[in-house]
Structure 1
Amino acid sequence: MPLRVLLFAVPEKDEEAVAALLAEAGPWAAWRSREGGEVLYHVFLEGGQVEPVSDALQNRFGKALRLAVLPVEAVVPPPEEAKPPEEKPSPERVSREELYQELSEASEPGGVYLALVALATLVAAVGLVRGSAALVIGAMVIAPLLGPAMALALGSALGDLDLFRKAFRTLLLGVALASGLSLALGFFLPVDPSAPELAPRTRPGLEDVAVALAAGVAGALGFTTGAPAALVGVMVAVALLPPLTAAGLLSGAGYPEKAFGAVLLFAVNVASVNLAGVATFLLQRVRPRTFWEAERAARASRTALLLWGLSLALLAGLLYLAQRVLPGF
């Protein structure tokens, strides 16, 4: 995994305690300097080591600790391949704090987010109408809904209601904007329900559930391993933005029965992405540091898995019923 730098300061009297902690962690390198009765540390660790060391420091120093995690672009000489540890290995992911910070920032409902939603919707709408897969993929690369969708899953896994509420509001705002804009575009663009990029999104099948579940896993793994958002964003966006835009276009153009199929596909995909995202975060051992927070997170994650699972089962049943009852669905 890529290296990270832990930057923190402790009183000189605690230097021995920190030395013992770092000796156990085995960092790639550790630098220290003294100033004003404190020892300032620069500790280079693999991404999977950051969370255990950070937790140990917080347990030792509590709220008095001030710690920053910084990315490392390159080191000379490059670090050697670590030997397999005899004890329980560190998780192969970025730290909980880094993951939380990234997704919290990605779910901010600011002007940039709204602009990206509008631009992605416009590009997707043109691509769907023209039958251009390249334009639809271009809209997915923008991936404005990726951040709040994954933050929603992380908030459920950690039992963090503040993050969950913020992500839900931001995602809802993005969905409303994309729906309204695509609905308006449907009045003016030449929408043909049989277009090659529109038709498949009006006739969803159970195989689309598998795609959406894979998208949720890919999104969660992408963030936990530090993969570029542009790569995993396409996978998540394929499940969210195109069917949402298709529903708006078809509604605006006067094809409500076709729009129903796209809306159903979007709802199935939202449930699938969140179910898979929460499960993946749990399998990656993303959990709070303290015992009482972990208990709360366990209850919240169980509730989230149950609700998303039931929602997906009901929607999949509705999808199966629609295929059997509605002609041409």
Structure 2
Amino acid sequence: MGTFFSSRPERTFKPKKKVTMAVRLLEVIIPRGKHVILEPIFKKQSIIQHWIEEDKPGANFVVKILTRAEDTGSITDAITKLLSKTENFRIIIQAVEATVPPVEAPEEPPAKIGRLSVSREELYNDVVQAAKPTYVFAGLMIISTLIAAFGFLKDSTAIIIGSMVIAPLLAPNVALSLGSVLADFTLIRQGLSTQFSAVLLVFFLSALFGAATNIDPNLSNIHQRIYADYTDIIVAFLSGTAGILSFTAGSSTALIGVMVSISLLPPLVATGLLTGSGYFIYATGSFLLFMANLASLNLAGILTFIFQGVRPMTWWKAKKARAYSMKAMLLWFILIIILLAAMWLRNSFLVT
């Protein structure tokens, strides 16, 4: 394999302090001789190092760029624009576990608040993979529903919390929010499809469980879902914000997923249990709570993505996406207001 280093000297950072940072390796596969188009990219201060490789004589060139993780998105967009008239190019983004010597944090002003820690492409790929309705997803939903149902039957908060650890309800909501921000209707359909399948599975399974056990609506954990108020909606909104932040930070989403499941799984399981046991009026309370929480999670998700600057690459797509996300936010907000009013009226009716 031949390796050609750029004649331009490697740009190095003068670190203010010995703090390492997350980096990415971009591999740009381009036709032979087209690497000169990328010269403007190499002038960027965020480029740590770059070099050019050739697999064999006459083959494509592979331009490799080492950069900070938070700059991956902007560099990828810039490369795509420069190569817009070039055929047969591909950009591969790889996470770098470590380098020797380590890449140290540069002496420069702090990054803008809300800046993404991963590129849009990495985020999109993670969401698409996580939101697929696989057998594993269905299996986890069945197990978490049964555990939650037994938790309600025993009126055990600990068991109900255990079910939330298993339920994979974060990814479909992230897919729906990201699709709304990018105006990506394929991703929206995938998020809706996975979410709807999960809701039907949880409801019918818990309804069968309720029909077999005849759940008591006076149990404390059931009662909390029947007579919910605005504080539950606030918790759901904050959970949605935390869920999106965990995805965009590229960090573990296990514990954050528990918070999202708190807002969705218990009220939905309670709805199924009460419906199966014949307490239809009580079931409306937990169902209204579930719907309000779902709307709050998605509203929070869209707002968080917008705050972090997630948008399509081209300006015309960004304009379309901005208009669509505003409509989606308005729809979720109106739905929350309607559901809160319905919850208040219903609670007042039951109390009197």
TM-score (norm 2): 0.87
Task: Please identify, of 300-309 and 45-54, the stretch whose mean Cα deviation from structure 2 is larger.
Answer: 45-54
What is the deviation of 1:239?
0.8
Is the contact made by 1:206 and 1:319 (CA closer than 8 Å) also made in structure 2?
Answer: no
2:208 to 184, 188, 204: 184
Counterpart for residue 142 of structure 1: 166
- Which residue number corresponds to residue 279 of structure 1? 303
- Match of residue 210, structure 1, among 213, 234, 239: 234
Counterparts of 1:1-329 in structure 2 under 5 Å? Answer: 2-35=22-55, 36-62=58-84, 64-85=88-109, 91-189=115-213, 191-327=215-351
Alpha carbons of structure 1 residues 87 and 167: separation in structure 2 relative to 1, 3 Å = closer
3-state secondary structure, aligned to 2:258: helix
TM-score between the two structures when normalised by the length of structure 1: 0.92
TM superposition shift of 1:279: 0.9
**Deviations 1:194-245 (CA, angstroms, capped at 9, x unpaired):** 3332221111111111001101111111111112121221111111111101
- Deviation of 1:73 (Å): 2.6
- Give the direction of change, closer, same or farther, for the CA distance of 1:191–1:287 in structure 2 (3 Å limit): same
Per the TM alignment, residue 254 of structure 1 is displaced from its structure 2 partner at its CA by 2.3
| Contact kept in structure 2, 1:187 and 1:253, CA below 8 Å | yes
**Contact (CA 8 Å) 2:35, 2:63: kept in 1 or not?**
no
| 1:243-285 Cα shifts (integer Å, max 9, x gaps) | 1011111111222222111101001001101111111111111
CA distance in 1, matches of 2:66, 2:214: 57
Unaligned runs of 5+ in 2: 1-20
Q: Which amino acid aligns with 2:179?
A: G
Deviation at 1:6, TM superposition (A): 1.5
**What is the alpha-carbon root mean square deviation over aligned residues?**
2.1
Structure 1 or 2, whichever has the larger Rg, is: 2
- Whether the 8 Å contact between 2:51 and 2:64 is mirrored in structure 1 is yes
Give the stretch that moved more between structures: 80-89 or 131-140: 80-89
User: Structure 2: how far apart are the matches of 1:223 and 1:246?
Assistant: 28
Measure the CA separation in 1 of the matches of 2:114 and 2:89. 22
Per mean C-alpha deviation after superposition, the further-off stretch among 69-78 and 197-206 is 69-78
Shifted more, 150-159 versus 93-102: the winner is: 93-102
Distance 1:258 1:194 in 2: 10
Q: Secondary structure at the match of 1:81?
A: strand
Indicate conservation of the 8 Å contact 1:48/1:90, yes or no: no
> Which consecutive unaligned segments of at least 5 residues does structure 1 have?
none
Query: What is the letter of the counterpart of residue 297 of structure 1?
Result: A
Residues 76 and 139 from structure 1, CA distance in 2 versus in 1: closer, same or farther, beyond 3 angstroms?
Answer: farther
Looking at secondary structure, tell me which structure has more helix per residue: 1
Contact 1:157 1:300 in 2 (8 A): yes
What percent of counterpart residues are identical?
37
User: 1:305 Cα deviation (Å)?
Assistant: 0.7
With 107-116 and 3-12 compared, the bigger mean Cα shift is at 3-12
1:33 partner letter:
E
